[in-house]
Chain A
Amino acid sequence: MTDRTDGAKAVSNEDKVKVDLEAAPARAIASDSQRPAAPTPQDVAQVTSPAIADPILDVRSLSLWYGTSQALNRVSLVIPSKRITAFIGPSGCGKSTLLRCINRLNDLIDEVRIEGDVRLEGRSIYDPSLDVNALRKRIGMVFQKSNPFPKSVFENVAYGPRIQGVNDRRRLEHIVESSLRGAALWDEVKDRLADSALELSGGQQQRLCIARAIAVEPEVILLDEPCSALDPIATAKIEELMMELKEQYTLVVVTHNMQQASRVSDYTAFLYLGELVEYQETEKLFINPVKKQTEDYITGRFG
C-alpha cells in the first residue's frame, strides 16, 4: 500500500500548483493474499444457483456412500431442458458419481447407498415401480473411453432399436442413417457400414457411441469425459456436435477440461469434496464466480 499523505497535503493547498507529483511513488497492485479472506463454512454451505426456466431434471439433496465413504453430500441442482450443463471439479470431487446417479448406473455397484432423489420431469427415477431399462432409454450415456460393440458400424447403431423390437429392415436403415447424421458421422462411414466399428478412429468411435445413444431417441444424454482420449481435432468435432445436439436433447457433461466446459456449456456446476460449491450460468461462473473456492479452482490456484 502506498503512503500518499504528503501529496494529499500539497493538493489541499488551494493556491499552490506546484504539486510534487514528479516523484511517482513505488506501487504494487494488491496481490491475492490481500484480497478478502476465504469464505466461512456457512458461506460455502449456501450454494448459488441460477434461475432455470425450463427444468427437466431435478436433483434433490442427493447423498451417496460407497461403503462407508461418502462421495456426494446433499447435492441439489436443477438441470435445464435442451441445454448443455457441465460438471467440473478436481478428481474425486463426485462429478462422475453425480452423473451416474442420473441414469441409476450406480445401482450396478455393490455397497452403494443413496439418499435424496432425482426427478425426471417431476417423477422420481428411484421410484421402485420404475423400469430402469425404460429410464436408460430416456437417459442415454456416452463414456470416456469409446466402447463400441465388436460388431459392424450398422449393428452398433441398430442395436438399441432392435432390442426395442424394431425389426423392419427399412426402418432400421432409416434410424441408422439419421442417427449417424445426427452424430455428424454419416459422411465418413456411409460406405463402411458393414465394417467393424473397431476399425474406426477414436474420434469416430466416440461419435458412433453418440449415434448409438441417440438411435433410441432419448431425452437426456449424459457424457462422462467424452473427449479426454481424443486429439484436439476430434475434440472440436465432438464439441461442435454437442452444440448441435442441444437443439433436440438435454446434455449433461462431466469434464476435466475447464476450457471445454467454458466453450460448450450453458450452465456449469463446480463440485468439490462431494459438495456442490457453485452452480451458475457458464459465462458468469468463469468471469465472475461468487465463491472463492470456485475462483481458486478455475484460476488454477488449487485443485
Chain B
Amino acid sequence: MERLHRHFQERLDLLSEKILRLGGLVEQAIGKSVRALVERDSALAHDVIAHDGDADRLELEIDELCMELLALQQPMASDLRFITTAMKIAPDLERIGDHAVNIGERTLEINNEPPLAPLIDISAMARRAQEMVRGALDALVRRDGAAARAVIAMDDELDIRMEQVFRSLLSYMIEDPGTISRALRLTFVAKYFERIGDQATNVCEQIVYMTEARVIKHPGVSTQAKREPLE
C-alpha cells in the first residue's frame, strides 16, 4: 500500500525535524531569557543573544526545503498543507526567538540599575507566554487542532496582563521620574511577552489550517481569490 517515494517521505521527515528543532531552540531561548530577567543573570542574557544565529539559519533552511518540495514534488492534500504551514510558521517561530533576544538585551540594561520592583505581573506574563509557545509546539507535534485552539484562547489573558503591567509601571514613573528608564525597559519586556503570545497564536491558527483545512484567522473576512480572472 505504502508506495510513496521514499525520497519524498525522507524530505518531509527532515522538514518536520527542522521545524521542531527551531521550535525547541526558541522555547529554550525564552526559558533562558526569563531566568536571566528574574535572576538578574547577565551572563545568561549574553548567552541568549549569542545563540540567535542558530534559529535564523534554521529558518532559512526550512524555506529552502519547502521551496524544493513544492517545486520538485508537487505535493497535494495534507502534504501540501503541512509544507505551506511549515513555511508560514517558521518566521513566527524565528521571531519569537528574536523577542527572547530582545528580552535578553533589556535585561542587560536593567541589570545596570538597582531593581525597581518585584516582577510579579511580568513573571506571570512570562509564564503564560512560555505555556503558549510550548502548547503550540505540542499541538504541532500531535497534529491536534483542538489543542491549537486551546492555546489561542490563552492569548486574551496575556493582553489583559500587559495592560496591568503598563498601569503599574506608569504609577512608578509618575511618582518618581528617577524610575522612568527602568520602568520603560520593563514595559518593553512586557510587550515582548505579549508579542510572543501573538506569534504563538499565529502558529496555532496555521496548525488548525493544517489539520482541519479551515482558516480561522481574520474571522468575518471573506475572500474572492477563487479562480477569478484578473481584470
Contacts and interface: CB of A to CB of B under 8 A. Distances in A.
Interface residues of B, number: 47
By Cβ-Cβ distance, the 3 closest A-B pairs, closest first, are A21-B31, A24-B24, A288-B213
A267 B25 CA distance: 44
B80 to A, nearest CB: 6
Interface string A285-303: 0111100001110111111
6 contacts: A14-B124, A21-B130, A30-B143, A287-B81, A298-B77, A301-B1
B168 to A, nearest CB: 17
A29 B127 contact: no
Interface in B1-29: 1-5, 8, 16-17, 19-20, 23-25, 27-28
Given A17-B126, A22-B28, A24-B23, 14 more contacts: A17-B34, A19-B130, A24-B27, A25-B24, A29-B19, A29-B20, A286-B77, A287-B77, A287-B81, A289-B77, A295-B77, A295-B78, A301-B4, A303-B3
A259 interface: yes
A24 B130 contact: no
B59 to A, nearest CB: 17
Nearest to A303: B3
Contacts of A19: 31, 34, 127, 130
B143 A35 contact: yes
Contact of B2 (A4, A21, A302): A302
B134 interface: yes
Nearest to B26: A24
A239 to B, nearest CB: 15
A28 interface: yes
A31 to B, nearest CB: 8
Nearest to B73: A300
Counting chain A CB atoms within 10 Å of each CB, the highest count among B8, B27, B134 belongs to B134
Interface string B29-59: 0111011001100000000000000000000
B127 A17 contact: yes
Contact of B27 (A21, A34, A266, A286): A21
Interface of A: 1-2, 4, 7, 11, 14, 17-25, 27-30, 34-35, 258-259, 262, 266, 283, 286-289, 294-296, 298-303
Interface string B67-98: 00000001111111100000000000000000
A288 B77 contact: yes
Interface in B133-186: 134, 137-138, 140-143
Interface in B101-139: 119, 123-124, 126-127, 130-131, 134, 137-138
A7 B130 CA distance: 11
A27 B24 contact: yes
A17 B38 contact: yes
Contact of A4 (B20, B74, B78, B138): B138
B153 to A, nearest CB: 16
Contacts of B213: 287-288
Contact of B28 (A1, A2, A21): A21
A283 B226 contact: yes
A23 B17 CA distance: 17
B150 to A, nearest CB: 13
B16 A29 contact: yes
A243 to B, nearest CB: 10
Contacts of B79: 299
A272 B142 CA distance: 31
Contacts of A30: 141-143
A2 B4 contact: no
Contacts of A2: 138, 141
Contacts of B2: 301-302
Nearest to A20: B31
A244 B142 CA distance: 45
B120 to A, nearest CB: 9
A24 B27 CA distance: 7
A301 B3 contact: yes
B30 A21 contact: yes
A1 B144 CA distance: 12
Contact of B4 (A17, A283, A287, A299): A299
B20 A27 contact: yes
B131 A11 contact: yes
B20 A299 contact: no
Contacts of B24: 24-25, 27
B35 A300 contact: no
A294 B126 CA distance: 44
B20 A302 contact: no
B20 A28 contact: yes
A299 B141 contact: no
Contacts of B34: 17, 19, 21
Contacts of A35: 143
B78 A300 contact: no
